[in-house]
A = this chain, B = another copy of it.
Amino acid sequence: MKTIIVNIGDEILIGQIVNTNAAWMATELNIYGIDVIKMMTVSDEKNAIIDTVKSAMNESDLVLITGGLGPTKDDITKKTLSDLFNDELAFHQESFDNIARLLEQFGRVPDDRYRTQALMPKNAKILINKIGTAPAMWFEKDNKIVVSMPGVPKEMMYLMSKEVLPLLQDRNIIQEIVHITYISYGKGETDLSDMLEDFEAALPSSIKLAYLPNTSNGYVRLRLSGRGSDRISLENVLNAQAEALNKTLGNLIFGKDNDSLEALVSKLLLEKSYSLSIAESCTGGKISHKITSVPGCSKYFMGSVVAYSNDMKINLLGVNPATIQNFGAVSEETVIEMAKGAKETFKTDYVIASSGIAGPEGGTEAKPVGTIWIAIAHPSGIFAKKLKLGNNRDRNIEMTSNIALNTLRLLLLNQLNEDLKPTY
């Protein structure tokens, strides 16, 4: 069933409020397999409303409208829709009773203004709004359904959940839809789409794959969506495709839905009863912050040293001054000694260490900005790796943190072999 969402309100058009109603409605409708083909936001103005609703009715089967039903004078939706459906407004006792009940909670009695608010189109189905004074109105004409709801988010959500969706279900209008979303790290959208070319070409028409990259953290989510009339067979098809996707990408996939690398690492540390500490230089506390953003981390996380100065690398982490002298603070030798030192100090099974030039200043010809060493101390040794990143300080800190967490993840899974090493 093709659906168009229409949000009425000047406050959206001037950018004063973000249209979260449309996103919430779309999410709900999507779950039920209803295709939202368009969203439109228009002004609180009679002609704009008429034109928009008419064109939406031409293009779709279901038009869901929010906004423009409150008591203030810029709200003219009710009258406009009534005209559009050649209907007329009449006093609606049940709506008035609902208003009276709500006002009673504040010790008030409805006056005449509220009698005007209880005027409703005679031929529409009125859906009572138990948490607000404006009900929803359900119109039908030429096999099209138009529903108008108030714009207050919680009232709209109440009416959608308790009235509109159940009515659509009663009419057998709603289809089945199933999603599976994986989350990957280590390759960008373009590389992933190359790796998945054959997979995508072989997808049945009922299944779609979407790439959802997050540019701020480098994660790419991969969402498989299936739609059909029979949920069981749909789930079977989707699960088979999800398995194939998983197999193709292997360890590039680290989780599902809203997982994060730090949450995965935390889960693995907890499962295996390992402890963790961190020795940061160029990442400056970002890795520690990520680890401690996971609730319950005190069970495995002992602490960190952010050793920004060389003196602190020496005094707090026991790095040999000669190592810094001979190889520099940004070197494999130093980052390994940092990891060893933290392991000693914090007595943990694992350590993440970082040392590099985050930029924008501080680079040399031999070690340009973006040269960063990470090391992971584990129960049987120390793994170290050199990263060559770019010139953007924030991005270098974020990428180094995620690469370090991803490397720790692969080590914890015993899967850090060359094949699976991400390319950066």
Point out residues on A near B: beta carbons under 8 Å: 10-20, 22-30, 35-43, 48, 52, 55, 70-74, 105-107, 113, 152, 154, 189-190, 193, 210-212, 215, 223, 225, 278, 280, 283-289, 291-293, 295-298, 301-309, 311-312, 315-316, 345-346, 358-362, 370, 388-394, 397, 424
Contacts and interface: CB of A to CB of B under 8 A. Distances in A.
B308 A305 contact: no
A403 B258 CA distance: 29
A24 B15 contact: yes
A418 B152 CA distance: 33
Contact of A361 (B193, B285, B295): B295
A361 B308 contact: no
A316 B293 contact: no
Given A72-B193, A361-B296, A312 B302 contact: yes
A117 to B, nearest CB: 9
A74 B210 contact: yes
Given A36-B14, A210-B11, A305 B302 contact: no
A70 B25 contact: no
Nearest to A14: B30
A298 B309 contact: yes
21 contacts: A11-B210, A13-B35, A15-B24, A15-B25, A16-B223, A39-B41, A71-B189, A71-B190, A72-B211, A105-B391, A283-B289, A285-B285, A288-B288, A292-B308, A295-B360, A302-B308, A302-B309, A303-B305, A303-B309, A304-B306, A305-B305
Contacts of A113: 190
Given A14-B26, A19-B23, A52-B38, A289 B293 contact: no
A384 to B, nearest CB: 19
B308 A210 contact: no
A16 B212 contact: yes
Given A18-B18, A52-B38, A210-B11, A301 B308 contact: yes
A288 B302 contact: no
Contacts of A36: 13-15
Contacts of A304: 285, 304-306, 308
**Most interface-central of A285, A293, A316 (chain B CB within 10 A):** A285
A200 B166 CA distance: 42
A71 to B, nearest CB: 5
Contacts of A23: 12, 15, 17-19
A401 to B, nearest CB: 9
Given A11-B210, A14-B225, 18 more contacts: A10-B210, A12-B23, A14-B30, A15-B22, A16-B27, A17-B23, A19-B39, A37-B42, A70-B189, A71-B193, A74-B210, A152-B215, A285-B289, A286-B292, A296-B361, A298-B308, A298-B362, A315-B345
Nearest to A288: B285
A302 B45 CA distance: 52
Contacts of A52: 38
Contacts of A19: 18-19, 22-23, 39
Contact of A106 (B42, B280, B292, B389): B389
A292 B298 CA distance: 24
A312 to B, nearest CB: 4
A130 to B, nearest CB: 12
Contacts of A286: 285, 289, 292
A39 B10 contact: no
Contacts of A308: 292, 297-298, 301-304
